[in-house]
């Protein structure tokens, strides 16, 4: 079956139905209705996979997807129109346009940490641009993957949209097919393998990876607000969020007070016994649980419970840049704290590290904000908050360097899954004779002619 999916979708794509704007909008409307009708089941499946509460899932997964669908259904007709651009005087008479055309059949590979939203967002973008889609959710979040496969495959034809379940072997089979575009969300390690496979067919890729996103708190920041938002952003979904702050850089003069506030909010949000709190998620499986415990490396004693996949919200002090915690993306509820005394030295260090998916700063100093923006490259910069930049479908979402390539969400999704075709239509006159050999006109004379244009 897998070996024939791309072929069947290419055949359907050549018929031209998916290029029709009204057809695309109808598929998006049908998808929106399908999600609306099955919200409870989707949230229940995610709870089985991650132990995440209903409200947390609605805010982070259901709402963003429905909002994305609403925006695309409303705006797609305008966005899909050819864009007229200027035509240089030398090329006149003529007209120049940019047309948005679909790539064809798109492969979408998605992760387990937000198993609904990170599956549906790129699917929506690909469909809006007129592509056919084969999507494979992570087998680790098996309950959500199975539910979405049943819902989508029962409601849409595999000729243009299908969900494929399975593990690594299934992913390898899919990557061996000749898709027209590959969209991958996941780790840097797997992202490199996806790129290698894509290179065999010169298939373009969009990679949404991760990295160690820093959060800086300067002494001029609002410490209580910073602590509340850091506690929420870091420990939401038990830290299993690609744009979660990976580590905290606290200015020396406020470090102790800031940590005290964070511990206070941990108690306020999750109580003295978070394992009993339904608002606190679980680690996805024992493999990731063991990896996180190993990262701590006896640096701090914690009350974890392997059988319940529970690791409490944990602030880790006295961390150095050389510690194991600082060598890889944590992707869990462990917050290392590094003290700093000089803002410029921190900017210098961050500018030499791999570019993260997000950078965060709590400060009221406009000069510091601007220096960070100019000095440290990252997929996004958020000042005085965390995570919520991903909710806006007016901002592009994606990484840079080791944190990924390509942007999506909102209009950026439509454009990411579209080939921007340049179209120039010229008149036949005038027909400059100097363009044709033999070239007898003196170079300086013709150069002055070109300078006029």
Whether residue 294 is preceded by a cis peptide bond, meaning omega within 30 degrees of 0, is no
pLDDT > 80? residue 368: yes
Domains and CATH numbers, the chain: 2-209+403-421 (3.40.605.10), 214-398 (3.40.309.10)
CA distance 159 to 37: 23
Structure confidence at residue 229 (pLDDT): 98
Residue 135 pairs in a beta bridge with: 108, 163
Structure confidence at residue 292 (pLDDT): 97
Token pair in block for residue 125 = 């973008």
pLDDT > 80? residue 451: no
CA distance 335 to 258: 13
Structural contact between residues 53 and 278, judged by C-beta atoms closer than 8 angstroms: yes
Mean pLDDT over the full length of the chain = 95
CA distance 177 to 399: 26
Specify the pTM: 0.95
Name the band, by pLDDT with cuts 50, 70 and 90, for residue 179: very high
Half-sphere exposure of 144 (CA within 13 A, CB side): 33
Name the band, by pLDDT with cuts 50, 70 and 90, for residue 453: confident
CA distance 63 to 105: 27
Name the band, by pLDDT with cuts 50, 70 and 90, for residue 22: very high
91 or 239: which carries more pLDDT confidence?
Answer: 239
pLDDT > 90? residue 75: yes
Whether residue 430 is preceded by a cis peptide bond, meaning omega within 30 degrees of 0, is yes
CA distance 434 to 322: 65
- Residue 313 is classified by DSSP as -
CA distance 64 to 67: 5
Name the band, by pLDDT with cuts 50, 70 and 90, for residue 340: very high
Provide, rounded to the nearest whole percent, the portion of the chain with pLDDT above 90.
90
Active site residues: 208, 242
Q: Is 289 helix (H, G, I), strand (E, B) or coil?
A: helix
CA distance 267 to 247: 20
Structure confidence at residue 195 (pLDDT): 97
Beta strands in 301-392 (DSSP E): 314-316, 334-340, 359-362, 381-383
Largest CA distance in the chain: 88
Structural contact between residues 359 and 214, judged by C-beta atoms closer than 8 angstroms: yes
Structure confidence at residue 253 (pLDDT): 97
Name the band, by pLDDT with cuts 50, 70 and 90, for residue 141: very high
Question: 282-339, pLDDT tens digit by residue?
Answer: 999 999 999 999 999 777 889 999 999 999 999 999 899 999 999 999 999 999 999 9
Question: 88-130, pLDDT tens digit by residue?
Answer: 988 999 999 999 999 999 999 999 999 999 999 999 999 999 9
Q: Is 360 helix (H, G, I), strand (E, B) or coil?
A: strand
Name the band, by pLDDT with cuts 50, 70 and 90, for residue 171: very high
Structure confidence at residue 222 (pLDDT): 96
**Could you tell me which residues come within 8 angstroms of residue 23 by beta carbon, excluding any fewer than 6 positions away?**
17
Structure confidence at residue 445 (pLDDT): 76
Among 195, 191, 140, 190, residue whose Cα is nearest residue 165: 140
Residue 193 pairs in a beta bridge with: none
């Amino acid at each position: 079956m897998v070996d024939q999916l791309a072929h069947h979708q290419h055949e359907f794509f050549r018929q031209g139905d998916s290029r029709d704007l009204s057809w695309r909008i109808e598929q998006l409307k049908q998808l929106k209705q399908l999600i609306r009708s099955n919200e409870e089941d989707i949230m229940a499946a995610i709870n089985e996979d991650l132990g995440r509460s209903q409200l947390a899932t609605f805010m982070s997964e259901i709402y963003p997807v429905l909002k994305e669908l609403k925006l695309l259904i409303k705006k797609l007709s305008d966005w899909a129109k050819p864009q007229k651009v200027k035509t240089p005087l030398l090329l006149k008479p003529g007209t120049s346009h940019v047309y948005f055309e679909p790539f064809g059949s798109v492969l979408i590979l998605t992760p387990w940490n937000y198993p609904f939203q990170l599956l549906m967002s790129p699917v929506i973008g690909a469909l809006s641009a007129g592509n056919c889609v084969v999507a494979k959710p992570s087998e680790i979040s098996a309950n959500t993957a199975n539910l979405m496969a049943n819902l989508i495959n029962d409601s849409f034809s595999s000729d243009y949209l299908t969900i494929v379940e399975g593990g690594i072997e299934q992913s390898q089979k899919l990557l061996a097919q000749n898709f027209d575009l590959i969209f991958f969300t996941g780790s840097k390690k797997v992202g490199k393998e996806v790129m290698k496979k894509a290179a065999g067919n010169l298939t373009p890729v969009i990679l949404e990876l991760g990295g160690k996103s820093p959060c800086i708190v300067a002494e001029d920041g609002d410490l209580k607000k910073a602590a509340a938002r850091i506690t929420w952003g870091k420990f939401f979904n038990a830290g299993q969020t690609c744009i979660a702050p990976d580590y905290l850089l606290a200015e020396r003069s406020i470090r102790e007070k800031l940590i005290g506030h964070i511990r206070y909010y941990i108690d306020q949000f999750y109580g003295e016994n978070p394992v009993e709190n339904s608002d606190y998620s679980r680690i996805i499986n024992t493999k990731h649980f063991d990896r996180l415990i190993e990262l701590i490396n006896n640096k701090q004693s914690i009350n974890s419970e392997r059988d319940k996949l529970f690791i409490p919200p944990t602030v880790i002090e006295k961390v150095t840049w050389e510690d194991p915690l600082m060598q890889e993306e944590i992707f869990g509820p462990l917050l290392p704290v590094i003290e700093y005394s000089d803002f410029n030295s921190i900017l210098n260090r961050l500018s030499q590290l791999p570019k993260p998916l997000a950078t965060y700063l709590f400060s009221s100093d406009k000069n510091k904000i601007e220096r960070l923006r100019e000095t440290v490259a990252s997929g996004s910069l958020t000042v005085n908050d965390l995570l919520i930049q991903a909710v806006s479908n007016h901002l592009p979402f994606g990484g840079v360097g080791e944190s990924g390539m390509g942007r999506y969400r909102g209009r950026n999704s439509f454009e990411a899954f579209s080939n921007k075709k340049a179209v120039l239509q010229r008149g036949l006159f005038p027909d400059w004779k100097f363009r044709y050999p033999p070239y007898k006109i003196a170079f300086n004379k013709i150069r002055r002619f070109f300078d006029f244009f």
